[in-house]
Amino acid sequence: MNTLILKFSYGSYDLANAGTAELEILGNFLSSDFDTDYVRFYSWIDWLYDPKYISTCGNASELAKIDDVIEIYNIFDEEWEGPYFAMNKDKFAKFLHEWRDLVNLQPKTIIVTQHHDGSLTLEGKDFPEWASQ
């Protein structure tokens, strides 16, 4: 198992530690490109399932749809030869929903664990007093 750790700082999550280059790419996407506000969140979900669009990019990440797999690349790797994060589209959508739900509770630390089968689980630590878990 490998982990990705993100820390809450000044209203957003910053990448603190990644166990693999692939998880670092996911962490950069979550901290730099992915937004959990309602409109932006659903624009990402719409993109996942719209067959017209096969790629998109943000500040740190390039995303590509290849069949039912989402691949996330470091936008600064011009050759697309470096490592990348990949996940089944439906599992990725489920993960993004879980991420949004957890982020809305504003834990100080989020730990993403990647299991041997490639699945991801989320854990929040140090929740504010107002957050009910």
Q: How does residue 13 score in pLDDT terms, banded at 50, 70 and 90?
A: very high
Is residue 127 one of the residues assigned to a domain?
no
Q: Is residue 22 part of a domain?
A: yes
Q: What is the pLDDT of residue 128?
A: 77
Look up the pTM and report it.
0.90
pLDDT at position 132: 59
Q: How many domains does the chain have?
A: 1
Q: Please choose, from the candidates 5, 38, 34, 24, the residue with its C-alpha nearest in 3D space to the C-alpha of residue 108.
A: 5
Percent of the chain with pLDDT over 90: 67
Residue 116 placed within a domain: no
Residue 25 located in a structural domain: yes
Whether 33 shows a pLDDT value over 90: the answer reads no
Whether residue 66 lies inside any domain: the answer is: yes
pLDDT tens per residue, range 55-90: 998 888 999 999 999 999 988 776 667 789 999 999
